Amino acid sequence: NAGVTQTPKFQVLKTGQSMTLQCAQDMNHEYMSWYRQDPGMGLRLIHYSVGAGITDQGEVPNGYNVSRSTTEDFPLRLLSAAPSQTSVYFCASRENRGSYTFGSGTRLTVV
Amino acid sequence: SQKIEQNSEALNIQEGKTATLTCNYTNYSPAYLQWYRQDPGRGPVFLLLIRENEKEKRKERLKVTFDTTLKQSLFHITASQPADSATYLCALLSGGYQKVTFGTGTKLQVIP
């Protein structure tokens, strides 16, 4: 099992550009989520999904969109990148009440 | 407001000693609490889970306690080794289990 796979690992964007961070899991987990991690702020929840076709906002959703067309995939879209979105992004999945499995992260810089 | 506090200062201990990390929370009624390890440039890795009706959980050299009266969890690593050096995060799951809130983590440095 690969677990949770995130791509790309690194990305540099110009302000105003859009892009999609990819996340895929092969554990058949219903629950998936996106976090961003900033120094001193910890992991903050952006969006989450409890199953295909169902998504909801987390703590810091502004500027991001998600969709969940399959159980395996949960992409995160940046609509118009801003320097404030410079961060490390983690995708995670979990069993219903279990532990999280995290991807290796995407380090995004917006210039 | 809801708050999770972990000591933001790094914890330095001598190899072989027991490391104790603290996770305090306010305005939560967590159903359970988890501890994760994060190495630089990597995603967090799950270590232990403890439920609200459990006082203590052990796994090899790791021990977690959960005191819902004090609103605190303690994470212990006995016979610590330099390889235990990492940042340790606590996470709370409450009502509905849909959202998990993570603490900011405590960096542990085990000195040979």
Of B6, B102, B106, which to mutate for an interface test with A (greatest number of A Cβ within 10 Å)? B102
pLDDT of res. A40 = 80
Strands across the sheet with A64-66, in order?
Answer: A4-7, A19-25, A76-78, A64-66
From the CB of residue A43, how many other CB atoms can be counted at a distance below 10 Å?
Answer: 28
Which residue is closest to B6 within chain A, CA to CA? A42
What is the pLDDT confidence band of residue B52, given thresholds at 50, 70 and 90?
confident
Q: Is B35 on the interface with A (CB under 8 A)?
A: no
Q: What is the pLDDT of residue B98?
A: 66
Q: Is the pLDDT of residue B96 over 70?
A: no
CA distance A51 to chain B (A): 11
B90 has a chain A CB within 8 A of its CB: no
Q: Which residues in chain B are contacts of A58 at CB distance < 8 A?
A: 99
Closest chain B residue to A4 measured between Cα atoms?
B43
Q: Does A38 touch chain B (CB under 8 A)?
A: no
Encode pLDDT of B53-87 as tens digits.
Answer: 898 999 999 999 999 889 999 999 999 999 999 99
Tell me the C-alpha to C-alpha distance, in Å, between residue A15 and each of A20, A34, A47, A108, A111: 15, 21, 22, 12, 6
